[in-house]
Amino acid sequence: MTDRLDLLYSDTEDDLRAAVRALLADRAGHTVLLDRIETDTPYVPGLWKSLAADIGAAGLLVPEELGGQGASHREAAVVLEELGRAVTPLPYLTSAVVAAETLLALAAESAPAAGLLAAVAGGGTVAVLAVPLSTAPDAEPPHGPAVPAVADATAADVLLVPRADGLYA
């Protein structure tokens, strides 16, 4: 028996790609995005809800029993590819991937984390991890009350703050 790595996209992944691409073509064309540069809100209003909740992209990495789609990192990568292709500023990586994975690691032992994970997976809540952008994965949590910059903080409903004694929201 040999395990072969399949690098071709499945029909499901192609369908997801087509749905995300169509949404972005319809709602996030280059002129729309250029107009957002001059505002305090770089995100296109309503676009996150359409991607996260209507398409279900926010819950791709979350198991179905926890309120998500139960997909894999391949499907999340398809969404990220399309967001990058269209240069669309949405908090997908920070919320649906990084924050969701962080909450998923805690959901089995923490009811509040599981509840927040379900809200993130449903697309109604944007959560981001409040760590400096230069933090290495195995680094100690930042000490002190300030983190100089947090990716997608302006889009976040909840900041997840890792501390030595746990994760705070």
Ordered DSSP codes for 52-69: IIIS-GGGTTS-GGGTS-
Amino acid at site 14: D
What's the CATH code of the domain at 155? 1.10.540.10
Task: For residue 109, give the 3-state DSSP assignment.
Answer: coil
Beta bridge partners of 128: 159
In a domain, 69, yes or no: yes
Q: Among the listed ranges 31-45, 54-68, 137-151, which one has the minimum average pLDDT value?
A: 137-151
In a domain, 22, yes or no: yes
Beta strand pairing call for 166-168 and 127-129 = unpaired
In a domain, 113, yes or no: yes
- Domain region containing 37: 11-168
| Number of domains, the chain | 1
In a domain, 88, yes or no: yes
pLDDT surpassing 90 at residue 148: no
Contact 91, 127 (CB under 8 A): no
The reported pLDDT for the residue numbered 140 is 66
In a domain, 63, yes or no: yes
If pLDDT is split at 50, 70 and 90, which confidence band does 134 have?
low
**Cα(123)–Cα(119) distance, integer angstroms:** 7
Q: Which residues of 121-135 are buried (b: 16+ CB within 10 A; e: fewer)?
A: bbbebbbbbbbeeee
* Averaged pLDDT, 35-63: 90
The two tokens of residue 84 are: 């990058």
146 alpha-carbon distance from chain centroid:
23
In a domain, 5, yes or no: no
In a domain, 44, yes or no: yes
**DSSP one-letter code for 169:** -
**DSSP one-letter code for 65:** G
Amino acid at site 64: E
* Averaged pLDDT, 91-100: 96
pLDDT surpassing 60 at residue 46: yes
- The pLDDT mean for the chain works out to 89
In a domain, 4, yes or no: no
